[in-house]
Every structure is written in C-alpha cells, then in structure tokens.
Chain A
Amino acid sequence: MTRLLDVENLAKSYAGLAAVRHVSFGLDRGEILAMIGPNGAGKSTCFNMLNGQIRPDAGRIRIDGVDTTSLPPRAVWRKGVGRTFQITATFGSMTVRENVQVALMSHGGALGRWFGRADTRGRDEADRLLALVGMAADADRAAAELAYGDLKRLELAVALANRPKLLLMDEPTAGMAPRERVGLMRLTAEIARAEGIGVLFTEHDMDVVFEHADRMMVLSRGLLIAEGPPETVRRDPEVRAIYLGEGLVYDARHQEARADASTSGPQPEARA
C-alpha cells in the first residue's frame, strides 16, 4: 500500500539562498510526525510546498499515491489536505462559526450558489467541530477579536472541515501558554488516531514533541539531518550539537514566547 505522504528530493531556493535542500521523507496514515529545527531551517517553506502554496524547484510530492507537486493549494486541499498557518489566517469579518461553515460549504461544493441563506448551512457540523477544539462558547464572536491561542484552535477546526487525510500544522502552539500547548496537541493526537489522519507539525516546545510525536525529523539550514523515533533522534550527536549551539538562544526565545503568551489578551479558560 502506498504511503499517505511521500516526499522525494524536495528543494527550493530564494534568490540563491537554498531554503530547502533535497529533503525526502514519508508519512503513514494515523502517524504523527514532528519536524523540528531552528528558525530559518526551512520548515515553513516545506509546508508551503506540501500544500501547493509554493512551487518547488525540484522534487516530487505524492499524497495517497497521487502526484500533487504542481497543484495549486485549492486542488491540494481537495485531495484531503488540511493545514494551519504559522501566522494564522482566518476570515476576520466573520464569526467563528461562519469561518468553519465556509470551509464546510466549500467541501460540500456549495459555495457557488447565489441563492439561499448560507448561515444555516452546516451549522450543526460546524458546532461539532468547534466543540471538538474547545471553541463552542465562542461560536458567535467575530474571528477578528479572538486571542491568538483561540485563532490557532479555530484554524484547527477549519482544517478538519474537509475530513482531511493529512493535516499540516505549522507551529500550531506558538504563542500559547504552556498548558494550552500540551492540551491542543493532545487533542490533535486524539483526533488523528481516532480518524486515521496523518499529522505533520512543527514545534519549538520539545515537551510537546516528545509527548506526542511518533517520529521526528530535524531540519537544519534546509537539510534533513536526522529522522527517527524521538528517543533515537534525541541521542543523535549532530542534533545535540545544533541544539547545544542554539541552546541558549533557543531557551531565551522560548521563555519570551511563554511570557508573551501569558500576557497577551484575555486568557481563555483551561480547556481540554
């Protein structure tokens, strides 16, 4: 049986700067794969190539055996790929529920209709997804007024709307309080295991990675330098070198992010 995601020799440069250099990896159904690496390692670039946002310079991407390398994002989405963005992208003028409803309507092929009210379509399913990510109470709020952590949750609900086979989550927990991070990833892992969804995510918080990832891969300056179960990768000398070298900076940033997260906006009550 073909793998859910099969990436071969993926490469991308920006004006001479090699952001991603011939990276190959795969992902199975129901598997949770963490991609880690310092800032600028090329993680987001990889994600953007996987969902068609950026066209790779070289390499091939297959999803469920189908070549999606040169497809635009909307076509990749139709193949069953949901994603969240490092910098969240939601429809600010709509309510939280409407954000999910739009994704549901798009999945059901209803967005071309000029007649009939949209706000009653897929309402129950939207509420179910929102409840799943712990946003049920915010369904009628405008997305523009959400705190950052809640936006990440909303993005997850939107990404689940097309019943994806593959979920791409670029820093899903960035900007969240530590407790929230673990909660969100635990939730994602549960959903993924229950529905057999493959998850690829990037994450700076190693606690989250070690707790939830089945496998991890390490990217550094666009190169894949290690791959395997978390226990093995953790002991890899090259990885240790990178993270030791980066260690201080990394920890400092980490602390800062936490501090910011705990002061930015009203904290939602603990969920999940």
Chain B
Amino acid sequence: MQLVFVQFMTGLASAASLFLVASGLSIIFGVTRIVNFAHGAFYMLGAYVAYTLTDRFTGAFGFWFALLAAAAIVAIVGCLLEMTLLRRIYQAPELFQLLATFGVTLMVQDLVLLIWGPEDLVGPRAPGLAGAVEIFGKRIPSYDLFLIALGPLVLAGLWLLFHRTRWGVLVRAATLDRSMVAALGINQKWLFTGVFGLGVFLAALGGALQIPRDAVNHGMDLRIIVEAFVVVVIGGLGSTTGAFVAAILVSQLNAFGILVLPKISLVLVFLVMAVVLVVRPWGLFGTRPPPAQASIGMAVRPWRPLAPGEIAVAAAVVAAVALMPLWLGHYALTVASEILIFVLFAASLHLLMSVGGLASFGHAAYFGLGAYGAAFVVKAAGLPMLAAIAAGPLLAALGAAVVGWFAVSLSGVYFAMLTLAFSQIVWSIAFQWVDVTGGDNGILGLWPDAFAASPAAFFWLTLAVVTPALVWLHMVIFSPFGYALRAVRDSELRAEAIGIDRRRVQWIAFVIAGTAAGLGGALFAFLKGSIFPDVMAIPTSVDGLVMVLLGGVETVLGPIVGAVVFKALAMWLISQTDYSKLVLGAVVVALVVAFPKGIVGTLADWRDRLTARRGAGPSDAEASADATAAEPPAGTMAPAPSPATVAGRTRP
C-alpha cells in the first residue's frame, strides 16, 4: 500500500513537466496548426541552459531565477526560429512542417553536444526543497510535492491567461477561427510569434524543472517528444485541459507499469492510447480537426507509367548497377547493398506518403519487424537465409495490418503522431522483451548462406530482390488500386461519393508499404549480420521521409533518386565530420524551405520549361512564362489554388 502511494506521488510529480511540454505543444498547434517536433529540443535546451545558469547563480533566489531565465532565453530562441523559419512554412503541407522542425531537432542535438559536451550533467538540488516530507510513513521528496502543486497552478494560470486577458482571448479566437483574427485587424504575425514563444517557454521550463530530479542528457529531446505526442493524442490536440489529464494518466501508467507489469511497462502507455483513439479518435478533450491545409504528393503534372523507351533506360541502369562488383571493392559493395536496401525502404514509404498522402513517421517499425522476423526464422526455426528473407516480411505485414487498422482512421498530423507512437511500441517490445529479442544486445550471427557470403554475391542477391520489388511497387501505383489510393488522397469526399472505401484502401496500402519495408529489413539483417532495436528508432523513420522528400514527393521516381543521394551523402558526412546531424538537420530545413519539389521534381520542371520554350510558337512560351510568374516565390510554398479557393472567389 505504501509502495503504491509512493509510486502514485512519483507519477504525479513526473506529470508536471510532461504537462508543461504537452500543453505548449497543444497551444502552438491550436493557433498555428503546426505540430512542433522541435518541442523536445526546446525542453532539452531548457534543461541545459538551466544547468549552466544554476551553476552561475546560486542561493535560493539565484536558483529559481536561473530556471525562469533559462526558460525565457530558450523562448526567445524559439521566437527567432518562428520568425525566420516557421513563417515561411505555415501554408505548407503538414509533413513539411513536421520535417522542418525535426531538422531543427537534429541541429540542436549536435549544438548541445558542441556546447555542453557528451557527458550527462547533474544539476544542483532545489534550495529549500532538497529534503523529504514524511507522509503515511513514507518519505516523499519535497521537490516532488512542489512539482505536484505546480501542475494545477500552471493549468490555472493558463486558464486565466486565455480567459481573462485580451491577448489570451485573441489567442482563443484564433484557435477557433483564424480568419476572424485577421478580420479584427490584429497583427496575426506577432500573435503567432507570441503563441510560439509561450509554448516554447512552457517546454523549456518543463526541462529546467527536471534538473534537480534527473541528470541532463542527450536523449531527453526524443524521449519527451514521443511522450508529449502520446499525451496530446490522448488528451486532444489543442486542449490544455486534455494535456493536463492525459499527462497525469500517462505518468501514472509509467509509474505503475514498472510496478505491476515490468515486462511490458513501456508498451502499456501506447496500448491505452490505442484504446482511447478507438473510442474517441480526436482525444478525450479534442474536437475533430479542420481538414488538412494541403495534401502532400498532389502533383500538378499527372503521373504516367514508364514509356517503353524509359523502361529500356531503366533496364540499362539496372544492368549497369549489376556490373558494379566488377570494379567496386568490398567496402564499397557493402555500402552499395545498403543503399539498394534503403531505396526499397524509401519506395515503400513513397507508396504510403506520396501516392496515399499518409506521411508515416514510424515506417522504420516495419523495416525492423522484417529484420527481426528474418532473425527469428533463422534462430528459432533454423531455416536458411532465403526462407528467412521470404518469411521476415510476413511479420512486418502483420504489424502493419494491426497498426494500419488504427492509423487510417486518422489523417494528417494525427496519423503522423500515431504512427510514430506505434513505432515506439514496436521499439519498446524489441528493447524490453529480452528473452526473445535480446533487448539492447540485439540478435547476432545472422550471416548469409555460403552462396551469398561474399560482398559481391550479396550485392547481386540484394539487387535481385530489390529490383522486382520496385517494379511491383511501380505496378501497384499504376494499377486500379493505385488510382483508388490517389483518389482518396486527392478528395475523400469525391472518392466516397463514387463508391470507394477510403479506410479500406488506405489500410491495404499501409500493409503493402509495411511488407515492402519489411523485405528491405530482412535483407538488412543479413547485410549487417545482426539486428538491434535502434534500427526502428525515430531517426530511421525520418531518414525515409527525407529520402522521399529529397527525391521529390510529387514524383514517381523520386524515392529512388532521393534514397541514393541521401544515403550516399549521409555515409560520406559521417566519415567526414563528427557533427553530421547538424549538417543533416540544416539540409532538411533547407530542403523544406527552398527546395520542396526535390531533385526529380525540379528536373521535371526544367524539362517542361525547356520543351515549352523549344516547342511551338511564342504564345506557348508566353504561357509557360506566365505559369512561372504565377508560382509563389521560392520559400513561401503557398499551395496551388485548389478548386475550393476558386469556388470561394466566384461565389462569396
């Protein structure tokens, strides 16, 4: 009984920081409609800055001043970020916003490493709250009691801010209807900046408040952002009260999970989230979100399958690739195999995010499931490699079928957050179920059969598996099913009105994409000879998104080009610098802001412009020049006028 009480109090204390972070995330989303992936980074920055400041300012006053000052400093950084980056992408598809803020997260990770070094840092105890208070015969740390009281106080403070101040009322109005604020003559730009600053302040304060409890470390950002996503998904995106209730729920589940069900404690939270989503898709306190601003993958240039001539070129490329073992060394061949595997991974994600308009932030889970599936087949059943490569993807298909069934009932950022959370479940299982998966130590000794043991042979095997899989994915895109998938992406309303079952179509696409990713994972396991949980962590998922984006999200061949360029670039970067994340993050941000069409999309634009100029008379050239002029200036990324806006113009 006493133990239960202690766990309960610990859970409540942990809820405070989680609530601060989640409410900040929620407030920012409510007004700007941006899901700020960098929120975890701000939380971490808050902790690091607070560590430095508490070192400088000591004593009771100094300590508390340091915490607040840290939050304020980070909030200013947040405002600067909003003004320089986010203002450019408010109109962009949600995926781009998530990716850009993830890019910032990557950069912050390396910046923190540069400034504070790699060690965990232990901050001071809170002056006056270093002791413990005896309650029911158990000693509860005073600082925990302080945090427990702080949560409701912040909630009340936010309530007052939003209901009793002019600024707060404006923010609420903007949350309900953004056009209203513009109509009231309010400077919307600064309102957004202010809201973003407030949200970041809350996150940074949440981080700063952790330093007396926990060592400051580098994993803080991703750990908290996943939990915060779970909290806002459960509580309802945009609801502060929801964030409060859900933060307590999640923290208690964490606290008691360890006590009651230690084996599955990490999974417990996600299971509860899944249940909530089935019962209330928009969270406990949430309302149905407005339709997405712009769907990704919406190409203005209609897709067409490869023409016979292009198929010949593709075949020639495959043949040339097949000759690579003649002139590449062992290491280069291993790298080339890995690139091929990631081409398949990116192409599978492309089916989901470009063709289906569903940007999964947890696609690595199916890559990992395929890898573990293959490993189980080898270790448990003792089957040969080829059987394992065939069987591995089945586990991925099963996982995708289960997750997809939940995920496709949502769309946009909810879909992104849910897939991310589910990938964390899969990761937790791999991490925690040590008996089966080896936990952190992974599964070792997955060597290819003798016939594929040499790097050249394995490369050929990879090529022989990946090429047909890519051809198959290409066929799916241009099959009737592929059209149905694009139809539900382009207009759910129209699709349902002509007899298409959106959920069913998207669920099937989810399973296909997961299976194809699993195939890549199975190959990956044998390429590396081992498999660890980290292969399905968030960075792998985001790598896939960046590959598709780099190649061109609106194009058919983008993922192939994108995966090759990205993977080669990333491997080269890691060999060149210790701060590859900083560069990579900057590349991601630059891509989103300045180069949203990716390599293939930009090339296609050039080709179109060339043919327009070369072909036909001057009138055509003029028309194409017009089209260029009408395009939004680079960096603003206004979506193309949709039929709806045209309608709005003709019928006010």
| B501-538 Cβ-contact flags toward A at 8 Å (1 or 0) | 10001000000100000000000000000000000000
CB contacts (< 8 Å) of A78 on chain B: these are: 499
CB contacts (< 8 Å) of B642 on chain A: these are: 92, 144
A152-169 interface (Cβ within 8 A of B): 158, 161-162
| A173-215 Cβ-contact flags toward B at 8 Å (1 or 0) | 0110000000000000000000000000000000000000000
Residue of A nearest to B501 (CB): A74
CB contacts (< 8 Å) of B479 on chain A: these are: 113-118
| A89-124 Cβ-contact flags toward B at 8 Å (1 or 0) | 111111100100111011100111111111101000
Give, as a whole number of angstroms, the nearest-CB distance from A157 to chain B: 12
A91 CB contact (under 8 Å) in B300, B304, B491, B651: B491
Q: Which stretch of B157-165, B195-203, B456-464, B481-489 is in the interface?
A: B481-489
Also in contact, A98 and B483, with CB within 8 A (given A87-B643, A175-B651, A264-B650) = yes
Q: Which of A53, A86, A111, A113 has the most CB of B within 10 A?
A: A111
Tell whether B110 is near chain A: CB-to-CB under 8 Å.
Answer: no
Task: Check A116 against B490 for contact (C-beta < 8 Å).
Answer: no
CB contacts (< 8 Å) of A265 on chain B: these are: 646
B650 CB contact (under 8 Å) in A112, A121, A148: A148
Tell whether B5 is near chain A: CB-to-CB under 8 Å.
Answer: no
- The number of chain A residues touching the other chain, given as a range, is 35 or more
Task: Check B483 against A93 for contact (C-beta < 8 Å).
Answer: no
CB contacts (< 8 Å) of B651 on chain A: these are: 174-175, 257, 260
Tell whether A7 is near chain B: CB-to-CB under 8 Å.
Answer: no
Give, as a whole number of angstroms, the nearest-CB distance from A218 to chain B: 20
Instruction: Give Cα A175–Cα B643 distance, bound, in whole angstroms.
Output: 12
Also in contact, A107 and B483, with CB within 8 A (given A90-B491, A118-B478, A174-B650) = no
Instruction: Give Cα A265–Cα B646 distance, bound, in whole angstroms.
Output: 10
Residue of A nearest to B641 (CB): A144
Task: Check B494 against A90 for contact (C-beta < 8 Å).
Answer: yes
Task: Check A88 against B304 for contact (C-beta < 8 Å).
Answer: no
Task: Check B497 against A83 for contact (C-beta < 8 Å).
Answer: yes
A113 CB contact (under 8 Å) in B301, B302, B481, B490: B481
Give, as a whole number of angstroms, the nearest-CB distance from B329 to chain A: 40
Tell whether B298 is near chain A: CB-to-CB under 8 Å.
Answer: yes
Give, as a whole number of angstroms, the nearest-CB distance from A105 to chain B: 5
Number of B interface residues in the complex (CB < 8 A)? 44
A106 CB contact (under 8 Å) in B302, B498, B512: B498
Tell whether B57 is near chain A: CB-to-CB under 8 Å.
Answer: no
Tell whether A256 is near chain B: CB-to-CB under 8 Å.
Answer: yes
Is chain B's binding surface mostly helix, strand, loop or mixed?
Answer: helix
Instruction: Give Cα A174–Cα B651 distance, bound, in whole angstroms.
Output: 8
Task: Check B494 against A93 for contact (C-beta < 8 Å).
Answer: no
B491 CB contact (under 8 Å) in A73, A77, A86, A92: A92
Tell whether B184 is near chain A: CB-to-CB under 8 Å.
Answer: no
Number of A-B residue pairs having CB atoms within 8 Å of each other in the complex: 149
Give, as a whole number of angstroms, the nearest-CB distance from B596 to chain A: 16
Give, as a whole number of angstroms, the nearest-CB distance from A169 to chain B: 12
CB contacts (< 8 Å) of A51 on chain B: these are: 497
CB contacts (< 8 Å) of A151 on chain B: these are: 643
Task: Check B494 against A118 for contact (C-beta < 8 Å).
Answer: no
CB contacts (< 8 Å) of A110 on chain B: these are: 480
Tell whether A226 is near chain B: CB-to-CB under 8 Å.
Answer: no
B627-652 interface (Cβ within 8 A of A): 640, 642-644, 646-647, 649-652
CB contacts (< 8 Å) of B495 on chain A: these are: 91
| A229-271 Cβ-contact flags toward B at 8 Å (1 or 0) | 0000000000000000000000000001100110011000000
Tell whether A228 is near chain B: CB-to-CB under 8 Å.
Answer: no
Tell whether A26 is near chain B: CB-to-CB under 8 Å.
Answer: no
Instruction: Give Cα A35–Cα B505 distance, bound, in whole angstroms.
Output: 35
Instruction: Give Cα A94–Cα B487 distance, bound, in whole angstroms.
Output: 8
Residue of B nearest to A96 (CB): B302
Tell whether A40 is near chain B: CB-to-CB under 8 Å.
Answer: no
Q: Which of A93, A105, A144 has the most CB of B within 10 A?
A: A93
Also in contact, A114 and B476, with CB within 8 A (given A87-B647, A93-B490) = yes
CB contacts (< 8 Å) of A264 on chain B: these are: 646, 649-650
Task: Check B493 against A85 for contact (C-beta < 8 Å).
Answer: yes
Task: Check B497 against A119 for contact (C-beta < 8 Å).
Answer: no
CB contacts (< 8 Å) of A125 on chain B: these are: none
CB contacts (< 8 Å) of A112 on chain B: these are: 480-481, 484
Task: Check A119 against B305 for contact (C-beta < 8 Å).
Answer: yes
Task: Check B640 against A144 for contact (C-beta < 8 Å).
Answer: yes
Instruction: Give Cα A144–Cα B643 distance, bound, in whole angstroms.
Output: 7
Instruction: Give Cα A264–Cα B478 distance, bound, in whole angstroms.
Output: 34
Tell whether B449 is near chain A: CB-to-CB under 8 Å.
Answer: no
Task: Check B299 against A77 for contact (C-beta < 8 Å).
Answer: no
Also in contact, A102 and B498, with CB within 8 A (given A112-B481, A118-B480, A118-B483) = yes
Instruction: Give Cα A83–Cα B179 distance, bound, in whole angstroms.
Output: 30
CB contacts (< 8 Å) of A116 on chain B: these are: 479-480
Also in contact, A148 and B476, with CB within 8 A (given A89-B493, A91-B486) = no
Give B contacts to A, CB under 8 Å. Answer: 297-305, 475-476, 478-484, 486-487, 489-491, 493-501, 505, 512, 640, 642-644, 646-647, 649-652
- 5 tightest CB-CB pairs across the interface, nearest first? A175-B650, A89-B494, A91-B490, A111-B484, A73-B496
- Can you report 21 A-B residue pairs in the complex whose CB atoms are below 8 A from each other? A74-B500, A78-B499, A89-B491, A89-B494, A89-B497, A91-B486, A91-B494, A92-B490, A93-B297, A95-B302, A101-B483, A102-B484, A105-B480, A111-B484, A111-B500, A114-B481, A118-B480, A118-B482, A144-B300, A162-B498, A264-B650
In the complex, besides A144-B642, A158-B494, 18 extra interface pairs with C-beta distance below 8 angstroms are A74-B501, A89-B497, A93-B489, A93-B490, A94-B486, A102-B483, A102-B484, A102-B487, A105-B480, A106-B499, A107-B498, A116-B480, A118-B482, A142-B301, A144-B300, A145-B300, A175-B651, A257-B651
